Copies of this chain bind each other. A is one copy, B any other.
Amino acid sequence: VNAVELIERKRDGGRLAPGEVAWLIDAYSTGTVPDYQMAAMAMAVFLRGLDHEELAAWTVAMLESGDVLDLSDLPGVKVDKHSTGGVGDKASIPLAPMVASTGVVVPMISGRGLGHTGGTLDKLEAIPGFSTSLDPDRFRRILETCGMVMAGQSETLVPADRKLYALRDATGTVPSIPLIASSIMSKKLAEDLDALVLDVKVGRGAFMQDLNDGRRLADTIIDIGRARGVTVTALLTQMDQPLGREVGNASEIAESLAVLRGEGPADLTELVMALGVEMLQMAAIEEPRSRLERAVASGEALERLTEVIAAQGGDPRVVENPSLLPSARHEMEIPAPVSGVVTGCDARNIGLGAMRLGAGRERKEDSIDPAVGVTVHAKVGDRVDSGQPLCVVHYNEPGRLDEARPWLEAAWVIGEGAEPSPLVLERR
């Protein structure tokens, strides 16, 4: 096989045989195929696509570039959840302990925030001492003991994806449905899952603006799962405005704890329930919604999270006392300029504002300030009076507030009545 031949074939809209895909990904992982050839291939794939068979081979080749967990000796059905990324999306944090409380095993491997979106790992690390970097032995021990674990991808898991993702980021080839799907699924398959629920975010604050693109991504991932014996269901959910009221890191942990106490905001609680019901159904647990409600009402889910925090080195006292989480030195309100009804609350603008405060990263090497963020007071459909706060900005550095403020001020549209669109748009 010869890399140029494969690039030319894909460039011209042809297809690659499974063995050719396997060779390519292996040769790229090991450095035989250089970055510039893979960059040309990624652009050809971006513009020409991959068919079902190519995509299955691509995903498996990525998976096989590194270690694969073997959880087959752990009893229980192993189910994970993956979100394509949004603003204020802390759903994983209350979801995992709620689901784990019902006996489903949740080996959750999460990611970091990028651009205007937040990441579960960054949020968890706002808990003093909490470690998301676990070696495979510790990962498995915590999973056995607690029925759940929340960690980052280890160095040896799907190294081809790490390398290819960095290249795509530098070559304008990130938003390709087959490349996104294979990136997600190679990592999820490496967790040795039985089932996966996928939360495909669609809207202003998501990477995908278009519902049809979201459907195609969902169906592509469902197909890859089917080919490997992993059941995948997908919810397409709205990401025009932030989820919940908190956008930040420590503040999103506090809001997650509120959900587990039954005091969370309605949209976030609804999403967590909807995702949890899917996960329990895939594990054949009956009356899933009432099981999840019971896990919250009984305090079991909160207790489960407390155990996991302790097992992963975090300070479990934050659960009872969220004021132990880092908090910002200053706060400032952004007032409504006129009276009316909020018709737009742009998640992307708020995410970019929070990023500029230090809650997210502009470049991968940037560090996160866990204390800063935005508390959203007015969401779509809310009536506001002129001068009332649209949000409260929690900040540490005045210079960063200055950078964030124009993004935040431009986020709200106040008009004359609006219905918030439904949260769950579609199930696939």
**Which A residues are within 8 Å of any B CB, using their own CB?**
3-5, 7-8, 11, 34-40, 42-44, 46-48, 167, 169-173
Contact = CB atoms under 8 A, between A and B. Distances in A.
A157 to B, nearest CB: 24
Nearest to A42: B40
B39 A40 contact: yes
Question: How many copies of this chain does one complex carry?
Answer: 2
A172 B40 CA distance: 8
A231 B8 CA distance: 34
A47 B167 contact: no
Given A11-B46, A44-B43, A46-B11, A37 B4 contact: no
Ranked nearest first, the 4 interchain pairs of A and B with the lowest CB-CB distance are A7-B172, A40-B171, A43-B43, A36-B39
A38 to B, nearest CB: 7
Q: Which among A3, A4, A167 has the greatest number of chain B C-beta atoms within 10 A? A: A4
Given A11-B43, A36-B171, 10 more contacts: A4-B171, A7-B43, A11-B46, A34-B36, A36-B170, A39-B39, A39-B171, A40-B40, A40-B171, A47-B47
Contact of A40 (B4, B8, B11, B43): B43
A172 B11 contact: yes
A42 B40 CA distance: 8
Nearest to A176: B11
A171 B35 contact: no
Given A35-B35, A47-B47, A40 B7 contact: no
A23 B146 CA distance: 55
B37 A7 contact: no
A15 to B, nearest CB: 15
A35 B7 CA distance: 16
A71 B39 CA distance: 41
A166 B184 CA distance: 34
A47 B349 CA distance: 33
A195 to B, nearest CB: 35
Contact of A172 (B4, B42, B172, B173): B4
B172 A8 contact: yes
Contacts of A47: 11, 43-44, 47-48
A92 to B, nearest CB: 29
B7 A171 contact: yes
Q: Which among A5, A8, A43, A48 has the greatest number of chain B C-beta atoms within 10 A? A: A43
